[in-house]
Chain A
Amino acid sequence: MTLKYLLEIDRNKCTGCQACVLACSYHHSKKFDLTCSSCIDILRNRKNGNIEITLDQACCDMCPNEEIPLCMQFCAVKAINFVRRTEKYLS
C-alpha cells in the first residue's frame, strides 16, 4: 500500500548531527551504521556550512511500530516533518 505521507528534512534547520541517520539504521538493522542500513544520508560542506541531505523515500517505511518515525524522535531541532505525498508531488 502506498503511504499517504512522506518525510521531509529541512536542510536549513538540520544541524548535521547524524542522530536521525543512526536512529534509522537501528530501525533497519539493530546496529548503529552511517553507511548501509539507513535511509538518510547527511554530508556537511566544510567550506560554507551547508548540509546536503538525501532521504531515500523508497527505503523509508515510516517506522510502522512507532508513534512517529524514529528519525523525528531523535531530531533535537525538529527539522524532520511529515508532508502529504500528493502535496509533495504537486509542489
Chain B
Amino acid sequence: MYSIAGKVARINLSNNTIEIEPTEKYKKLMGGRAVGSYIVFNEIPETAHPLSPDNIITFNTGPLTGTLSPSAGRINISSKNVATGGISYANAGGHFAPELKYAGFDHLIIKGKATKPVYLYIHNHKIQIKSAEHLWGKDTWETEDIIIDELKDERIHVASIGQAGENLVTMACIMFDRSRASGWGGCGAVMGSKNLKAIAVRGTDSLEVYEPDRFFDFNKSLWKRFSNSKTIQLFHKYGNLGTSGAGGIDGKLAQSVKNMEDEVWEADKTLKVREIIFKEKYEVRQLANFTCPINCSRYYHVKEGKFSGQKLEALKTNVYRAFGSNMDIADREYILMANEMADRYGINCDSLSAVIAWAIDVYQRGLIGKKTTGGMDLHWGDGELQLKLFKLITFRQGFGDILAQGVYRASQIIGKDTGKYAMHAKGHGMCEQAIRSHKGWALGIMTSPIGGGHLAGAPNTEQKRISPEEGDRLFGVKTAGQPTVYEGKGRLVAWFEKYKTIADIAGTCIFATYWVDISLIGPDDFATLITYATDEKWKGKELLKLGEYIYNIEKAFNTLHAGFTRKDDKPPYKLTQIPISSGEFAGERLLPDKWEEMLDEYYTAHGWDLKTGWQTRQCLMKLGLNEVIERLEKAGKFPENNNYNKR
C-alpha cells in the first residue's frame, strides 16, 4: 500500500502490551475518522462508561497526511463521548499527524488504564511506555517542555492533557503542539481516565505515493487554486478571527452573545475586540499547520497591560466567541488570557463557555443564588470572574465541581427550570452564532453525531450566499445559499455530512474544502488525490458513499450506546423562543413546526425512519452494513420494535 506508514499499534495500558497489526487490515475504510469510528463501534461494549478502562481512544491519520496535499495534517481522535455517552470524534492540526506517519504508524488504538501516570514515546517504529509521574499536575505547555527536554529532541511533537483531563472534567480536550486542540467529546478526560498524560512522536521515514508525478502535478494545480481563491486571500489578511463568526471584518456578522441569548453584540463592544486591533497590537507573525496554504493562525506577543509578557499562538474564532461575546467581555487582554488558560489546562472553549455562561444566565434570572455559587456574585462582562470560574472548574473546587460536569448535567443537578437555558446538543455544551437565522447551519449542528459543533453536517453555503444555480448544480438544492429558508436544508445537511466525513477520512482540514469556498477541494478532487496517492481507484460519488457508510456506523453507535431518538435532534428552548433582537435577521428564531418539517426531509434524505429518527433495515442493507443490522436487531432498536421511548 502507498501513502501510508504501514502499521497500527494496539496499546493496552492495563497490562503494558503493544500489538502491531498491518494498516492493510483497514484498507476498505481508507483511514482517519473512518478507522476511528469503525474501531469504537466494534470494540467498545455498550455497557462501558466513557471514563472506564473499557473505553477506547484512537489516534488516526489519513492517506493524504504527510504529503504535499493542501492542509492534510489533521489527526483524528475517536472514543466514547464523555458528555453524551454516544460517539465522539474530533480532529486537530499542528504537525503531530505527519510525524506519527513518519515514525511508522498510521493509527494508535489505546485501551485499559495504567496503574500510574504514563506517557508514550513513539520514535521510528518503536513505542515505549514511560513514567509520567513527574508530569502529573503540570499543564500542557509545561508537559511538552519537560518531555522535549528529557528526550533531547526539539523536533518531537507532543499531544498532551492538562489538569482538566487529569481531573476528568467533562470538557477536557487534548492539546497538540501547545495550541492545537482536539476539542470535542471530552477526549482529554478519556486520556486522563487511562492515566495517559501524553504521547510524544518523532519519525524520520519518508512517504511514497502510487503515482508520484501525477499526484505532484495535481497538487501544484490545487495550490494555485488556493492562491487564486478570494476566501483564502481573506484568511491570509485577517486570519481565522477576521473571516467568520466573530462579527466579521466590519463587526456586523452574527455572534453568540450572553449564553446565546442573542446574535448581535453592541457595536461599541464588537469594535473593541475586532481582528484588526489584535493584529495591530499583538501580532508578531502568521503561522500555518502542516502543508497548509491557508495560514489561519497568528502568533501574539502582549507587551503591556495586565498580562504583559504573554506569548501565544492565537486567536481562533471559537475562542473569541467563547470568552468574548458569549460572556459579554469586550476586553482583549482577558480574552487572550482565557485562550492561554484553555490551552494550558487543556479544556474545550465552546463547552466551557456554555457552562460558565449558563451559570451567569441562571444566576441573573434568579434561579440560583450565592448559596449555590459558594458566595460568588455572577454577572456578565467580568474577566476576573471568568478566569476564577475557569480555575474552579479545572480543579473541581466548590461550585466548579458541579460545572465541571458540563452544562447539561450541571443543569440536571441544579434543576429548578435551569435546563431551559442550558445550551447543548445531545448533552454536549455549545457556543454557536447564526444558529437562529441560518436554518441549514442549525440543522447540521443539532443533528451532529458528536453532540453539536459545526464540523459535522452544517453547511457554509448560507453564509456564502451561493446562487440558486450553484446550489442546484453542486448539491441539488436551489435554496442552499438562502439562510432563512427551511426547505431543501434537510437534503443539503445530509450531503455535507457525507462530504465532510471524506475530509476527516483523508486527513484534510475542512477549511481547505468546498465548505469555505467551492473553488477548493471537492469530492472529485479528493478522489483524484486519493487515487494518485494510493493504489486504489476512487470516484467522488464512491467517496460520498463511504462518507455515508461511516456516518451510519456513527449514528448506530449513538442509538445503541446513548439511546438517541428524534427528540435528541431538536434545538434547545432559547433558539426556538427567543428571537434575534436586531440587524439583518431581527426576529429570526427556529420555528418548531418548520423544524419538524426540516427534520422529516433530513431523515428522508438518509433513508431513516421519520417517527423515531432511527435507521431502517433497508438503508443499512443498501450500504452493506450487515454488522450494524445485527447489533441493532439484537438491541431491538429498529423502528418496528416500537420501543423508542425506552433508553
Contact of A36 among B98, B206, B236 (CB under 8 A): B206
CB–CB B295/A15 < 8 A: yes
Closest to A11 in B: B285
B608 to A: closest C-beta gap in Å:
41
Partner of B206 from A33, A44, A77 at Cβ < 8 Å = A33
Contacts of A76 in B (CB 8 A): 223, 226-227, 236, 288, 292-295
Interface CB pairs A-B, < 8 A, 19: A15-B285, A15-B287, A15-B288, A16-B288, A17-B290, A17-B291, A18-B290, A30-B213, A32-B206, A36-B206, A47-B145, A48-B311, A49-B299, A49-B301, A74-B220, A76-B227, A76-B292, A76-B293, A77-B295
Instruction: Point out the residue from B154, B212, B213, B220 that lies within 8 Å of A73, measured CB to CB.
Output: B220
Contact A34–B177 (Cβ < 8 Å) = no
Partner of B216, one of A16, A26, A34, A46: A26
Contacts of B207 in A (CB 8 A): 31-33
CB within 8 Å of B: which A31-67 residues:
31-37, 43-44, 46-49, 51
B345 within 8 A of A: no
**Contact yes or no, B206 A31, CB < 8 A:** yes
| Beta-carbon contact of A22 and B311 below 8 Å | no
Q: Does A19 contact B236, Cβ atoms closer than 8 Å?
A: no
Residues of B with C-beta under 8 A to A23? 68
- Please state if B178 and A19 are interface contacts (CB–CB under 8 Å): no
Q: Please judge, given known A-B contacts A49-B313, A77-B236, whether A32 and B295 are in contact too, CB under 8 Å.
A: no
A73-B223, A76-B295 given as contacts; is B95 within 8 A of A18 (CB)? Answer: yes
Q: Give the 5 A-B CB pairs with smallest separation, nearest first.
A: A49-B299, A33-B206, A76-B293, A15-B288, A17-B288
A12 at the interface (CB under 8 A from B): yes
* B144 cross-chain contacts in A, Cβ below 8 A: 46
Evaluate contact between B220 and A30: CB separation under 8 angstroms: no
Q: Say yes or no: is B358 at the interface (Cβ < 8 Å to chain A).
A: no
Nearest CB of A to B64, in Å: 11
Looking at the assembled complex, report how far the CB atom of A7 sits from the nearest CB atom of chain B, in whole angstroms: 18
Cross-chain contact B285 with A74 (CB below 8 angstroms): no
B155 within 8 A of partner (CB): yes
Interface size on B, residues (CB 8 A): 44
Q: Known contacts A49-B313, A77-B286; can you find 12 more A-B pairs with CB under 8 A?
A: A15-B292, A16-B288, A17-B290, A17-B295, A30-B208, A32-B67, A36-B206, A46-B144, A49-B287, A73-B220, A74-B223, A76-B295
Give 1 or 0 for each of B194-224: 1 = CB within 8 Å of chain A CB. Answer: 0000000000111111001100100010010
B394 an interface residue at 8 Å Cβ cutoff?
A: no
- Shortest CB-to-CB span from B63 to chain A, Å, is 12
* Distance (whole angstroms) from the CB of B590 to the closest CB of chain A: 39
Q: In the assembled complex, which residues on chain A have CB atoms less than 8 Å from the CB atom of B95?
A: 18
Q: Which of B60-108 contact A (CB under 8 A)?
A: 66-68, 95, 98, 102
Cα A77 to Cα B294 with chains together (Å) = 9
How far is A55 from B171 in the complex, measured between Cα atoms in Å?
A: 43
| B635 at the binding interface (Cβ < 8 Å) | no
Select one of A30, A43, A49 contacting B284, CB under 8 A. A49
Bound-state CA distance A77–B313 (Å) is: 18
B206 nearest CB neighbor, chain A only: A33
Minimum distance in angstroms from B221 CB to a CB of chain A:
11
B289 at interface by CB-CB < 8 Å: yes
B226 touches A31 (CB 8 A): no
A31 to B216, CA, bound (A): 10
Chain A residues near B178 (CB, 8 Å)?
Answer: 46
Name A30's contact: one of B212, B293, B313 (CB within 8 Å).
B212
A22 touches B220 (CB 8 A): no
A64 to B286, CA, bound (A): 31
Residues of chain A from 54 to 91 with CB closer than 8 A to chain B in the complex: 73-74, 76-77
Residues of B169-210 at the interface with A, using a CB-CB cut-off of 8 Å, are: 177-178, 204-209
For the complex formed, measure the closest distance between the CB of B469 and the CB atoms of chain A, giving whole angstroms: 30
* Across-interface contacts of B67 in A (CB, < 8 A): 22, 32
Give, as a whole number of angstroms, the nearest-CB distance from B173 to chain A.
Answer: 19
Q: From known contacts A49-B285, A73-B223, infer whether A19 and B293 are also in contact, taking CB-CB under 8 Å.
A: yes
- Measured between beta carbons, the chain B residues less than 8 angstroms from A17 are 288-293, 295
Name the distance in Å between A14's Cβ and chain B's nearest Cβ.
8
Q: Using an 8 Å CB-CB cutoff, how does the interface string of B11-27 with A read, 1 for contact, 0 for none?
A: 00000000000000000
Query: Bound complex: CA of A15 vs CA of B284, how far in Å?
Result: 11
How far is the CB of B181 from the nearest CB of chain A, in Å?
A: 16
In the complex, A19 Cα to B212 Cα: how many Å?
16
Known A26-B68, A29-B206, A31-B207: A46·B285 in contact at CB below 8 Å? no
User: What is the bound-complex CA distance between A82 and B387, given in angstroms?
Assistant: 49
A66 and chain B: residue at smallest CB distance: B220
Instruction: For the complex, give the distance between the alpha carbons of A33 and B101 in Å.
Output: 11
> Is A46 a contact of B177 with CB atoms below 8 Å?
yes
- Closest A residue by C-beta to B298: A49
- In the docked arrangement, what's the CA distance between A22 and B220, Å? 12
Kindly report which residue of chain A lies nearest to residue B177, judged by CB atoms.
A46
Partner of B208, one of A16, A31, A46, A48: A31
Q: With the chains together, A22 CA to B66 CA distance in Å? A: 9
- What residues of A have a CB within 8 angstroms of the CB of B236 in the complex? 76-77
